[in-house]
Structure 1
Amino acid sequence: MKYETAVILIAFFGLSQAAPIVDKRSQLLPRYAIRGREVPQEHSHNKFLDSVRTSLNLNNPDEIQDPVFGLLGNAAAAVGQGKITDTDCLHQATADQAFTNAKAAGDVDAMTDALVFAALERNTGSVGLESVLCTAITAVNPEIAALSQHQDPAADGAAAKNKAITLELAKQIASIGGDPTIALQSGTFAPGTIGDPTGAGNTCDTEDDVEGCIFSQNLLVEDATLDEINAAVAGVATGGDAAATAVATAIATDAATATAGSTCAAQVTSTVTVAAAASTDAAGCPAQVTSTITVTAAGATQTSAAGNASDATAGNVSDATAGNASDATAGAAAGTNVQTFTGALGGAAPAITESTGDRPFTVNGNTFTNIGAAVQRSCDIQNNACFNAANSGALSGGTAQCQQQQQACVAAGNAKRDNISSRFNADAYNAAVSGGSAAADNSADAEASA
């Protein structure tokens, strides 16, 4: 009997050792929860999903398990909704909390990503079926509250609805000082066939595609043109934009300083009306300005409070705007460009201007405390331009080369940050772009098979 017992124990321990080990990632994102649905596409815009995950983790009072659940159908989403009581509102609540956290950190890029996430299409049960909008909860942030998610492109009137969503998204992004053209990346796929028994449509759902398979496989259908985006942003109503004021304060307070004897902080110019960095109403301080260029004054100073007094008193906004735009441009030009990357697919990476102050690095008017964040912003802007050029047909070779260029751009910036020789920059770029043709061919094959 004792031998039988020993055999049983040996068999038991052998089975326990042979049991599969649960992957750590699956503990956070249960695969049964994110796979048990039709029309899978929650990983199509992965770069925005990842950014929102980072922001959400800064403070997550509702214990939302992961942003991916907000993009799932309700049955699967309920598993990860935490304290959110209405599953239809999980998507909005996730974006709202991520935006709140990013805003507290003064991170315009992360705020932009949260806005884009709020506008992404949710999974539904069949081609052409619209997802339910959130009505039970009002978003804390008005920028999030102004948005709704994209709808299945095969649904009735989806083209018009999705275009309106994209244009509204562009306005909200512009209001916080972000790049409004990023709104185009919130778009969805080409319409599928109503009644498709597979429910697959024209979607993709590659979980380990860092950029997002809708971009890497060139499946994105933009809802509007650049001209329409610019027109929408130019038409944003002026006056009293609290969100823009908060962002301008968070970003520009340290960088924009007033000259001796003046109580006015440097004005902020953008494609929308933005309040000055400091909300003082001292005599002679213009509270808001409007411009048709995208520049945020960073490090620019006003030479005299009286210098702007006559324009402000007379209500000559155009003169004030032109004056401050030139001041901002001159201020940016006064620094040193530390962007050494020379790749130019879709256009050169924006300059990274280094000056003095607590936020010494400036990219397209946005200021940063360290060069790493500035490099990332510069490379992201170039990457967006490259993707737009590739998707519009202006740049041949597909979007894979854009991803390679961005990686090389960031590598070059890191080399600059770590004081590595400039030769490394060139080598990193050459290594990343070598084989670009093969990558483009693979992208084309993936698109064709989709």
Structure 2
Amino acid sequence: MGSAGTMSHSALEKTKIVTAIVIGAGCRGSGYASYALCDRHPFKVIGVAEPRDDFRNNFVDKYKIPKENIFKDWKDAAQKEKIADCVIICTQDNLHKDPAVAFAKLKYHILLEKPMAPTEEECMEIVKTCKSEGVLLQVCHVLRYSPWAMKIKEIIDSGRIGDVVNIQHLEPVGHWHFSHSYVRGNWHKESDSSSSLLAKCCHDLDLINYWMGSKNRCEKISSFGKLSHFTKENKPKGAASRCLDCPPSIERVCPYSAKKVYLEKIANGHKGWPLSVLHSSPDIENITELLKTGPYGKCVYDCDNDVMSNQVVNMQFKNGATANMTMIAFTEAICDRKVTVFGTKGELQCHGAGHSLVLYDFTRGDHDRIDTTAKMMKGLSGHGGADFYCMDSFVEAVVQNDPEKIRTGPDETLYSHMLVFAAEKARKENKVISMSPDGTFT
């Protein structure tokens, strides 16, 4: 096994090239596709479906996509006979189900960006179709593939910290990241995408579920949340509806100014995320024009956002252990998760997930620092390198046609999505939800 937890590169070289179609050539689709540029298993992107001309054209040029495999609409790709081994689906959340079902019926193996879909019914249909058609489904709960998350699981399962009594998990979204994605951006309104808990933290509830184990299911769940600060009532007096029109005296002291979030970054030579969301080839001119006319130039206090900026989820498990997850917008750190696992024989901490764990052994009374540094691959460094490990596992699974290589397959992912749906029901109805071992709830 290599350091990425997959078969060695030399062994993979003996197999055929894995071919893929990418549905949605935005940040996530482009990121996963860049596995083709890594020095790993031969992997080739041979098709793309993307409605935006600039994103599609850049993608075509980068991967030399043949003309017959270039589509504006995924439905056109699905009209053709199967042309690749797998499909990578990275459309918006509420546009996942239809292509997933269609390509499964064409016998494509599927890598599906999280969340699977915004409703229980659509998630169930995806899972049912993939299983009935006998195709692999891997959902991009990429954090399960990261070295730090896997090491936490290994330590818990080894019994080194005794029985787990509680897990505390913090997802610090980042103040300007939240304004970019969940106030101005694609996930700002639940009816157009999904709840912020599903869009942002299905990762995190999935991790808690992973660490607790399949024999220790959640039995009760509650949740509380609020949309704080990003409301019309908090708009400064005299502020404009667009940041570029805002009086300098107000704009200078606003931490969410589009000038700070976008223009200052590009002026300093940065052209990656979040600028890459606005334009496939960002420069000062096109970003300025987009801020004048598009959603990313709007005042954060004048948007029609309605998703939670602060939410907690409380869970009780079969063996009596508990867990609590907090998602918070107002942080310096950006998605730099912090985890503490409290056991009967020790305490395990992962602060700034990605580099090391610290284990305090109650018996010995000492600390053990455990290195979990991830391999970073250009283009696949997202989520602290977890994007690379996720793709590596998927390609190996396709090569061997082996679902055991997938940690985020249909059944396990459906269950963790049900945790999110139950938590949202608990929040909206202000009650504690009881869950069955199969993930169903009422």
TM-score (norm 2): 0.26
Larger % of helix: which?
1
Q: Which has the higher contact order (CA 8 A, sep 6+)?
A: 2
More strand by share: 2
| Greater gyration radius | 1
